[in-house]
Structure 1
Amino acid sequence: MKDRITELDLKEAPFLNKERIAEDVGNSLILAPHPDDESLGCGGLIAMLRSSGKNVIVIYITSGSASHLNSSLYPPQKLAKLREKEATNACLELGVLQENIHFLGFQDGQLIKLDSVKIIETVDNIVCITANKSLKSIFFPWRRDPHPDHIVTNTIGKLVTKRYNNELIQLEYPIWLWKNGKCDDWPFQSEINPVRLNISDYYKIKKRAIEKHKSQLGKIINDDPNGFVLTDDLLKPFDGNYEYFFTENKRNQKALEKDYFDKIYHNSNDPWNFKNSTYEIEKYKNSISALNKTDFKKGLEIGCSIGVQTNLLAKICNSLIAVDISEKAICEAKKICNENTNIEFKVTNILRDFPSGTFDLITLCEVGYYFEKDSLLELYQKIDSALVKYGRFLVVHWIGFVPDYPLSGNDVHNKLKKFMIEKENYKMLANQRTEYYRLEVWVKTH
């Protein structure tokens, strides 16, 4: 499986940003082939989104009526009603509004028999249900999840995405891949990007939601020994602090421009929670420490945002130029840094108007992935020209999944490493990698 994503790869996949899940994922549609798939595959995500105030719509394609075909106490029609009730209770446990729970009522195990006309009618129905819900993301089973109902639901999900002009973030969740997947069922490395979500704060809620599916846990129907039961072994992949998703690599190839940031800052003065985020505070502390120097003559901070890190850099620089493309961000930064007299703020596009002069410290933190690859390399060239001998270059980036950015954090650092090797006049002074970010300090040797 050298060319395939493996279970080990999933365990080391980049994270979805749980602190920004509401902004990154937004209002979401969950397509579930059967009752219980929503809780197993997405329960923590759903609970997290709901706690962040985002709408989640759950649509069940079937009602799971074929799980106990030999039960006389629960024939298919009665079982369908039971499973719909259990699914509703599970969704309510996760925080989904009653009005956002829908059952399409197709026959369990028979989706493969739907013709193209019925598929399109189903897509039309889903689009009608989700109209005016301001959807940003859609979740449905992995395209080769080894169950025909899951594969057909994936097809339906992709058609729904097309009806939204492919503007929805599309994430696929594995269910049966874990236990029943063969080599050919797993994704090719070139096919998708795996991501994971830390749901430890919502694990108990997810577990309670799963427990609502009592008929699948063998707690209700006892007259069909051959009926389907979610055993402890089958539940094992879903009993933990992480949920896993696959997303196609369809990044926006254009660099993000001023309008993008104007919109971000229009909605919030501190859109990334720089002031209070544990992630940011820890990262700033590590960044200053990694520089291993406190007497820089002249520093340049590229992408200062609202100035939280700027304050810290000002303490180790005699003078500091802090630039950002957003005028509003610079206004906030001036307020936060009003006690520092050694900072010069500039509203500028760094590629078009790189500050003149030379610097013995340049920082590029949480900015590089806003550029496309050619403009990023152009920026590296400008930084190299402006950095004096023995000057230090600090680079820090979030390495989790962010759908809007042209590059990932790993892309930024990997391209930088290649650039530095080709220049042959840099030495890596610090190299840190946490679950959430990469931090590097390079020193110019000659």
Structure 2
Amino acid sequence: MSVTSHYFDGLFQNSDDPWAFRQRWYERRKRAMTLAALPRERYTAIFEPGCANGELSVELAGRCEHLVCCDTSRRAVNLARKRLASLSHVDVLHASLPQQWPAGQFDLIVFSELGYYLDRQDLHRWIDRALASLTPSGQLLACHWRPAIDGCPLNARQVHGILAERLQMHRLLTHREDDFLMDLWSHDATSVAALEKLG
């Protein structure tokens, strides 16, 4: 069974930053690497599910014309809305995925630290919804913590394995560390240098 919203509500009940996104160098470095991994300087529309308190969302907002982010925890959504209040091109939604998927098409979906909270059935449904909402040149970036997390149905290796099998897209980037996995898939295989007609 997928982890329920009560788990995340509990995490945010006593802290506005339960994973120490702002304090930990690990988290700040991972955000920088996530942004650096994106092959395009600008995107038309980005979707960030599981946005938590909006720390990564702020950075993604600077890379797109429209950002949609969501979280299953009402407290997290309120914190993210406050964090992003000055950005008129950002929508923060309260939603449980994969059931409550936002409308619209996205040329980037950022699937960060979320997949292992879903069971296999919900992850497959999540991928179905993602594929249906990606544009013909759309991309999906996945990043997940590698050590096992108590109570989670899946681990990072399983999540990225299922993504690779189901997406059937070009894998433009793979990064492996003891701490996390990062992969970026794209419908379009053109490299950054080729896009700028270098070489």
Q: Could you state the TM-score of these two structures normalised by the residue count of structure 1?
A: 0.41
| Distance across 1 between alignment mates of 2:65 and 2:72 | 24
Map of 1:26-45 to 2, 5 A cutoff?
none
Structure with more of its chain in strand, by fraction: 2
Q: CA RMSD in A?
A: 1.3
| Distance across 1 between alignment mates of 2:81 and 2:41 | 22
Q: Which amino acid aligns with 2:184?
A: V
The residue number in structure 2 matching 1:144 is none
Residue 367 of structure 1, aligned match among 95, 114, 117: 114
Is 1:436 aligned with 2:183? no
The residue number in structure 2 matching 1:59 is none
Q: CA deviation at 1:259?
A: 1.1
| Distance across 2 between alignment mates of 1:337 and 1:390 | 27
| Distance across 2 between alignment mates of 1:359 and 1:401 | 30
The residue number in structure 2 matching 1:25 is none
The residue number in structure 2 matching 1:305 is 52
| Distance across 2 between alignment mates of 1:389 and 1:337 | 29
| Distance across 2 between alignment mates of 1:353 and 1:401 | 27
Q: CA deviation at 1:351?
A: 1.4
Is 1:403 aligned with 2:150? yes
| Distance across 1 between alignment mates of 2:94 and 2:61 | 18
Q: CA deviation at 1:445?
A: 3.6
Q: Which amino acid aligns with 1:409?
A: A
| Distance across 2 between alignment mates of 1:388 and 1:318 | 15
| Distance across 1 between alignment mates of 2:76 and 2:147 | 23
The residue number in structure 2 matching 1:327 is 74
Map of 1:169-248 to 2, 5 A cutoff?
none
Query: Which structure is higher in RCO with an 8 Å CA cutoff and minimum separation 6?
Result: 2
Q: CA deviation at 1:337?
A: 2.1
Q: CA deviation at 1:322?
A: 0.6
Q: CA deviation at 1:336?
A: 2.0
Between the two proteins, the alignment pairs up a number of residues equal to: 189
| Distance across 2 between alignment mates of 1:333 and 1:274 | 13
| Distance across 2 between alignment mates of 1:341 and 1:356 | 18
The residue number in structure 1 matching 2:91 is 344
Q: Percent identity?
A: 27
Q: CA deviation at 1:372?
A: 0.3
Secondary structure at the counterpart of residue 300 of structure 1 = strand
Query: Any stretches of 5+ residues in structure 2 without a counterpart?
Result: 190-199
| Distance across 2 between alignment mates of 1:338 and 1:322 | 13
Q: CA deviation at 1:338?
A: 2.7
Query: Any stretches of 5+ residues in structure 1 without a counterpart?
Result: 1-253
| Distance across 2 between alignment mates of 1:276 and 1:283 | 12
Structure with more of its chain in helix, by fraction: 1
Secondary structure at the counterpart of residue 280 of structure 1 = helix
Is 1:378 aligned with 2:120? no
